[in-house]
Amino acid sequence: MARVNNPFVVTGKIEAEYFCDRVAESARVIKTITNGNNLVIISPRRMGKTGLIQFCYDKPQIAEEYYTFFIDILHTTSLREFTYLLGRTIYDTLLPRSRKMASLFIQTIRSINGKFGFDPITNMPTFNVELGDIERPEYTLDEIFHYLAEADKPCIVAIDEFQQIAKYPEKNIEALLRTHIQKLGNCNFIFAGSERHMMQEMFTSSARPFYNSADLLELRAIAPEIYIPFVCGHFEKRNRYIAPENVEWVYNLFKGHTYYIQRTFNEAFADTSEGEVCTREIIEGAIENMVAYNDTIFREILSNIPEKQKALLYAIAKDDEARGITSAEFIKRHSLPSASSVQAASKKLLEKDYITEINKVYSLTDKLFAMWISKVCR
């Protein structure tokens, strides 16, 4: 039997055929960057920031004219880790594209070039550098930016979850990066982040180093009138059928959140045979499977959350979108201890990215986790 490609891609590169909309957003990204400006992209996690950036990177006006780099710094905790990840990404990206530039990278990064290995088969150095080899990250970072300044093509560097640098223990990281970035004449940056208030503060406060240094793009949910035909169309192209109202039900359930919609229809499509109808039952089964797949992970997460934080997490999950979490009404309804306790718990949950706050409305960051809590912990 011939293999049928699932059109609802949730991991890896998304081909243009399977990329839903973002016409205006991609045009904005390309126009901003190719005109020599930097860009800030803000959206909740898994709303499609990474896919949008990679989609734009593949466009001829960027792919043929620029070196493009993408790093996700969400799990970094220091300048040393940031520098290591940036250096490794640049080298690994350039090696298959330009041996000349890969060799120049090793020559330029003198602080660690003695740590590079050598592949006798390809006759090229290998990036054998360990995190601990970067003894002076400020100096190595300066070398990396100097290398970018000397590249034989203009460069685009996208840094995902950029707000993470504000959590590093080192002082003045924003000022350090801003100083380097503003000196680069042939390199532009995309700063993407999911913590809305932190990102806005970094780029719109006159007291911060990155003030007014980049254009701002807020990535919102794809409109249902675009998303619903997109889903129905891909089912029909592969001789399957799904009712628009069932697609709309999933869209509303996840409030237009790209990843969860795509993940649902990836699962539901796989469970629908050619010539058959993807029913509501199939869709609900797909969602139940998605929640069940993560059972072990969710139990582990929950076991590491302190009791007071856990109580607030349950309360927010129960409300789906919680407002006035320090109000007497909310506290009484959910049998929480006190306003000060809720405030302290919410701060910790936000820091750990278990919950998200937008315009004083709180919800669980992971929608499947919220569903799991509602099912298992009720």
Residues 148 and 194 in one domain: yes
Residues 49 and 194 in one domain: yes
- Look at 27-41, 88-102, 138-152, 213-227 and tell me which has the smallest mean pLDDT: 88-102
Q: Give 87-104 as a 3 state SS string.
A: HHHHHHHHCCCCHHHHHH
Domain membership of residue 16 (yes or no) is no
Residues 168 and 195 in one domain: yes
Mean pLDDT score of the chain, rounded to an integer? Answer: 91
For the segment 161-209, what is each residue's pLDDT rounded down to a tens digit?
A: 999 999 999 988 999 999 999 999 899 999 999 988 889 999 999 999 9
pLDDT of residue 302: 94
* DSSP per position, 39-58: EEEE--TTSSHHHHHHHHHT
24 within 8 A of 258, measured Cβ to Cβ: no
pLDDT of residue 266: 97
Residues 211 and 90 in one domain: yes
Residue showing tokens 């991609």 = 26
Domain membership of residue 214 (yes or no) is yes
Please determine, for residue 120, whether its predicted confidence score (pLDDT) is greater than 80.
Answer: no
Cα–Cα distance measured from residue 146 to residue 4, given in angstroms and rounded to the nearest whole number = 47
Residues 151 and 243 in one domain: no
pLDDT of residue 209: 95
pLDDT of residue 97: 81
Q: What is the mean pLDDT of residues 268-283?
A: 96
Please determine, for residue 123, whether its predicted confidence score (pLDDT) is greater than 70.
Answer: no
Residues 77 and 210 in one domain: yes
Give the pair of three-digit tokens for residue 82.
């940031």
Cα–Cα distance measured from residue 290 to residue 31, given in angstroms and rounded to the nearest whole number = 38
Residues 55 and 170 in one domain: yes
Q: With bands split at pLDDT 50, 70 and 90, how would you rate the model's confidence at 105? A: confident
Domain membership of residue 9 (yes or no) is no
Please determine, for residue 89, whether its predicted confidence score (pLDDT) is greater than 90.
Answer: yes
Domain membership of residue 7 (yes or no) is no
Tally of CB atoms within 10 A around 27: 12
Residues 35 and 112 in one domain: yes
Domain membership of residue 80 (yes or no) is yes
For the segment 204-250, what is each residue's pLDDT rounded down to a tens digit?
A: 999 999 999 999 999 999 999 999 999 999 999 999 999 999 999 99
Domain membership of residue 15 (yes or no) is no
Domain membership of residue 299 (yes or no) is no
CATH number where 166 lies: 3.40.50.300
Cα–Cα distance measured from residue 41 to residue 216, given in angstroms and rounded to the nearest whole number = 6
Cα–Cα distance measured from residue 8 to residue 234, given in angstroms and rounded to the nearest whole number = 8
pLDDT of residue 1: 42
- Look at 130-134, 187-191, 275-279, 317-321 and tell me which has the smallest mean pLDDT: 130-134
* DSSP per position, 285-297: HHHHHHHHHTHHH
pLDDT of residue 100: 82
pTM reported for the whole predicted model: 0.88
CATH number where 370 lies: 1.10.10.10
pLDDT of residue 141: 93
CATH number where 252 lies: 1.10.8
Give the pair of three-digit tokens for residue 346.
């919410």
Please determine, for residue 299, whether its predicted confidence score (pLDDT) is greater than 90.
Answer: yes
Last residue of one domain, picked from the residues 293, 316, 340 = 293
Domain membership of residue 2 (yes or no) is no
Residues 29 and 105 in one domain: yes
Residues 184 and 205 in one domain: yes
Domain span at 152: 22-218
Domain count, the chain: 3
For the segment 327-354, what is each residue's pLDDT rounded down to a tens digit?
A: 999 999 999 999 999 999 999 999 888 9
Q: What is the mean pLDDT of residues 92-98?
A: 83
Residues 209 and 317 in one domain: no
For the segment 236-247, what is each residue's pLDDT rounded down to a tens digit?
A: 999 999 999 999
Q: Which helix (H) or strand (E) holds 160?
A: strand 155-160
187 within 8 A of 154, measured Cβ to Cβ: yes
Last residue of one domain, picked from the residues 193, 218, 243 = 218
Residues 243 and 202 in one domain: no
For the segment 17-74, what is each residue's pLDDT rounded down to a tens digit?
A: 899 989 999 999 999 999 999 999 999 888 999 999 999 999 999 999 999 999 999 9
Q: Which residue from 126, 117, 71 is spatially nearest to 96, judged by alpha carbons?
A: 126
22 within 8 A of 256, measured Cβ to Cβ: no
Q: How far is CA 322 from the centre of its chain?
A: 24
Please determine, for residue 378, whether its predicted confidence score (pLDDT) is greater than 80.
Answer: no
Last residue of one domain, picked from the residues 254, 273, 293 = 293
93 within 8 A of 99, measured Cβ to Cβ: no
Percent of the chain residues topping a pLDDT of 70: 95
Q: Which residue from 192, 248, 258, 252 is spatially nearest to 220, judged by alpha carbons?
A: 258
